[in-house]
Amino acid sequence: MILTKDNIKSVGLENRIYGYVSSGRFSEFIIIVPTNRKLRNLKKNFIDNSPNQVSSGINIETLTTISNRLLKQSESFLELSEAASSVFIKKSAEKISFEYFNNYRDGLPEGTLDRLRNVISKYKESGITPDRLFNEAGKLSGSEQHKAIDIAGIYQRYNEMCIQAKAYELGDIYRQLIYLDKSVFYAKRIQDRNQIGFIFG
């Protein structure tokens, strides 16, 4: 996909990009790639093909890094570390009266807490909220219902702790961007208005 103000009906994408690269015009475009691995490979390729093999000013981002930068234009937040996330999950679990996990007298084991943290992080990235989990739990029965209610309860408290601390993980950043007033993007731009954006899937 190409995002540009130019009226381009058909473009040789690779030729256009390497035209910029070979002339060292890195400030005139930004590329968004899906993974860090793709970013590293593409950056190395650009350096190999740039004048004097210069690496400064290459604008390549992942969806994660560009989302992070965009949100930081409008609000201050901390990136939630794995250690802090583990503490939040443990504290959240300690406040729940369990139905499914009630056999653990001394609290949930570290391995179980880690799995719950990973599951909840994926829920956030997918836009699944604690309320939605509670609603889905109502459609289940028996131990599956109890398990879903316990996870939703932990998720709800964990979410509250993240928001209160303004400590965000990727799913939180996506959520905040979705609800961000669009005028913010017009007022605070990361790059020059004439810059072209290329998105590689």
Bridge partner residues of 61 (DSSP): 32
- Per-residue pLDDT tens digits of the chain, which is 201 residues long: 455 555 555 556 677 777 777 777 777 778 888 889 988 998 888 888 777 776 667 788 898 998 998 898 888 999 999 999 999 999 999 999 999 999 888 889 999 999 999 999 999 999 999 999 999 999 999 999 999 999 999 999 999 999 999 999 999 999 998 888 777 666 555 444 455 554 454
| CA pair distance 183, 106, nearest whole angstrom | 50
> Which residues 6+ apart lie within 8 Å of 122 measured at CB?
171
Q: Indicate yes or no: pTM above 0.85.
A: no
SS3 29: strand
